Amino acid sequence: MICEGAFPLMETDEMNFRILQNAAKSLCDNGKLIFTTLNGLFPLFHSVKDFFDLHNENGNAAYSENSFDLMTFRDYNITSVEDDSGNKKDFECNERYYVPSEITWLLKSLNFKKIDIYGAKLGAFSRNDKLTTEDFEMLIIAQFKNDF
């Protein structure tokens, strides 16, 4: 399983795709890849900045200067963290959001035959949740089929 925090955070789409390629290479026939990623349907209906502001809790990373690019489906932001000693650090980040059809196409191109996509709330994943525009993340369960 790859939790959101690895896959959509790479700097390029090619780097994200290589993560999926390497996962596919490591699976046995009928093996399953389970991962979460950012739901590209969410920012079409909601402000990513407002979402981060709403979920900003004391002690967690803070996000500022968010800008969502509809052409690349990337959210650019400054992520600020503070350690227990009070040392602060800012990072320029960008995160890639994916729509379900993109994920399906990427996985099918890697020989995944059965692909199920579900809605995911922060920290709560279930195969009972149908994906909607209200879900910030999505849960993907894909079954690999080696055709060789």
Q: 5-51: per-residue pLDDT in tens?
A: 678 888 899 999 999 999 999 999 999 999 999 999 999 999 888 88
d(CA 27, CA 111) in angstroms, rounded, equals 11
Report the C-alpha gap between 97 and 78 in whole angstroms: 17
φ/ψ of 110, rounded to 5, equals: -105, 15
Percent of the chain whose predicted confidence (pLDDT) is above 90: 61
Q: pTM (2 decimals)?
A: 0.85
Domain boundaries, the chain: 7-144
Quick one: pLDDT at residue 102? 96
